[in-house]
Amino acid sequence: MDLDFSFVAEYWPTFLRGAWVTLELSFFGVALGTLLGVLFALMRISRWWPVKFLASAYIEVIRGTPMLVQIFIIHYGLTGFGINLPPFISGVVALTINSSAYMAEVFRAGIEAIDKGQTEAARSLGLSRGMTLRYIVLPQAFRNMLPAIGNEFIIIIKDSSLISVIGIAELMYNARTVQSITFSPMEPLLVACALYFAMTFTLSRLLAVLERKLRS
């Protein structure tokens, strides 16, 4: 089979618009997921068992169910309760919820990896538990977890392709649109693959540079 990429000259703005929407979805999903993940991580290590139980249940349910099902529940299922979200908001909410469950475990592991002696020293100096977390534990945990956060960003960029099922014109949706217009079964998908790779590879290189700067 001979591959023909002549359509790219006409449809490259379509692919770039889709890539931009993919980046927007991924950025908001990871940023909000990280904030929510910190909250659930703190709940997970809480001394109050009801709070700890709620956080653990949330994390296990979200991690144990497919993202595609979560997308359908948020965008279509919630309409039964009178909640009608625009497709983009539904996509961000789905990515945020999914990302937060994984980020919660990343943060929990990072927090628990901090030497207990630092926490005890901070408390002996008069810092409250909240201040110790804010000024001593979380900054160190964040630095140690930066590779994991970067990996989550890369995963979300790839998983955002699932959002196309609710009609958001992200990269995969636009690739399928071009596929139907040009009657090319393979080439638009290869272009989409190249753009996904360009985004994830560039992000991984930028994160590597940031990690080196933080270690220096």
CA distances from 206 to 37, 84, 102, 199 (A): 23, 37, 22, 11
Question: What is the pLDDT, as a whole number, of residue 33?
Answer: 93
Rounded to the nearest integer, the mean pLDDT of the chain is 88
Rounded Cα gap, residues 3 and 7, in angstroms:
11
Residue 42: per-residue pLDDT: 87
Contact 34, 149 (CB under 8 A): yes
Set out the domains of the chain in order of their start, with CATH numbers.
Answer: 29-161 (1.10.3720.10)
C-alpha to C-alpha distance for 72 and 27, rounded to whole angstroms: 21
Span 156-208, pLDDT tens digits: 999 999 999 998 989 999 999 999 999 888 999 999 999 999 999 999 898 88
Sign of CA dihedral 87, 90, 91, 92: positive
Q: Which residues of the chain have pLDDT under 70?
A: 1, 122-123, 126-127, 214, 216
